[in-house]
Amino acid sequence: MKKKLLSILLCFVMVAASIVGCAPKSEEPNKPEAPSPTESNPVETLAKTKVFVSADWVKSVIDGNQPESKDYVIIEAAWGLVNENKSYLEAHIPGAVHLNTDDIEEPTYWNIRTGDEIGKVMSNYGITKDTTVIVYGADSGATRVAFVCLWAGVENVKVIDGGLDAWKNAGYATNEGIENPKTATSDFGVTIPAHPEYVLAMPEDVTAEMEKNDTFRLVSIRSLDEFNGKTSGYSYIEKAGEPKGAVWGHDEADYRNEDGTFIDFDKAVAMWNEQGLTADNELAFYCGTGWRATIPWLMAYENGWKNIKLYDGGWFVWQMDPNNPVQAITPEEAAAQYK
């Protein structure tokens, strides 16, 4: 009898144990299910004026998790035709379309094309003022395209910080081949350019600003050897030097970290402060033909600096006229002379 009771008791214990062991994980005491990565680390909504964005944010747009960016276009910007761009053909962000920088620049001075011409480009790529435009590329052609979009009037323009490498390093997939843009089904929404004040196109525009505004500073975004007049920096530009009155704002490489991402804004400001430049100045950034200079412009724009412009013609156009005054001095001499 005792053995029978003992057997019944053991069976009861085993059944109870099996019930507990088979309970769903969420019902176990003090062991709640771990939240998914998207729940624990949601990608934040960004202001329209925020330019440089992470690969994670772009992925969240593609996944439909950014309601304000449902209408978006991803552009890989590079010089040349799409069927000749080997890197794009081999790997690009899903949905990204190739944009040849020749489409946004006229062939004489390499300045931004007319408003009507840029309007056609915007339409060909399905872009209106309300489209979220996301740009990346292997060089400052990406920031050049981003700048042109803002100049035209696109209200929400982003540049992927770190470009395609950042996308790949985040573990996201890429596509091969050519993806064709979809044309716009509506008007752009504003007259292009919506912001002509962003650009000083030609040397005479720069000279006029210098003469009327004591706080105006022309800021060179070129290498030290270019600024010193040791080299023109371009095979197709014979003359070396800088426009007289320019101060040095450092070269493109100084605005990038080793991994290709862009430096923090306070580091950029520190470089400008070396030349006595602050937000109280009216700053016109320039380089050779208007690519490198768009990097600091976008940084300043993103951080709320108001008095910023791009001298589009750059050294290329300045040196064409022998009557335009030229200097070849050190950054220290420039800072002392033009404070």
Q: What is the pLDDT of residues 217-237, one digit of tens each?
A: 999 999 999 999 999 999 999
Q: CA-CA distance, 229 to 222, in Å (whole number)?
A: 11
Q: What is the pTM of this model?
A: 0.88
Catalytic residue among 11, 22, 149, 287: 287
pLDDT at residue 42, as a whole number? 65
Q: What is the pLDDT of residues 83-120, one digit of tens each?
A: 999 999 999 999 999 999 999 999 999 999 999 999 99
Q: 3-class DSSP state for residue 17?
A: helix
Report the 10 Å Cβ neighbour count for 230: 13
How do the residues of the chain divide into helix, strand and coil, expressed in percent and rounded to 5?
40, 15, 45
Up-side HSE of residue 19: CA atoms within 13 Å toward CB? 6
Question: Per the omega criterion (within 30 degrees of 0), is the bond before 24 cis?
Answer: no
Beta pairing, strands 242-243 & 326-327:
antiparallel
Q: CA-CA distance, 333 to 33, in Å (whole number)?
A: 64
Q: CA-CA distance, 281 to 307, in Å (whole number)?
A: 7
Residue that has been written with the tokens 């003359």 in this structure: 239
pLDDT at residue 3, as a whole number? 37
Contacts of 293 (CB under 8 A, 6+ apart): 219, 221, 285, 286, 287, 310, 311, 314
**Shortest CA distance to 286 belongs to which of 162, 147, 193, 153?**
147
pLDDT at residue 90, as a whole number? 98
Got the DSSP string for 257-287? -TTSPBPPHHHHHHHHHTTT--TTSEEEEE-
Q: What is the pLDDT of residues 170-196, one digit of tens each?
A: 999 999 999 999 999 999 999 999 999
pLDDT at residue 24, as a whole number? 34
Query: Which residue stretches of the chain have pLDDT < 70?
Result: 1-42
Contacts of 125 (CB under 8 A, 6+ apart): 73, 75, 97, 99, 181, 183, 184
**Is 287 tagged catalytic?**
yes
Got the DSSP string for 56-80? HHHHHHHTT--GGGSSEEEEEEESS
pLDDT at residue 43, as a whole number? 83
Catalogue the long-range contacts made by 36-45 (C-beta closer than 8 Å, 24 or more residues apart): 38/65
Name all domains of the chain by residue range, CATH numbers in brackets. 47-194 (3.40.250.10), 197-338 (3.40.250.10)
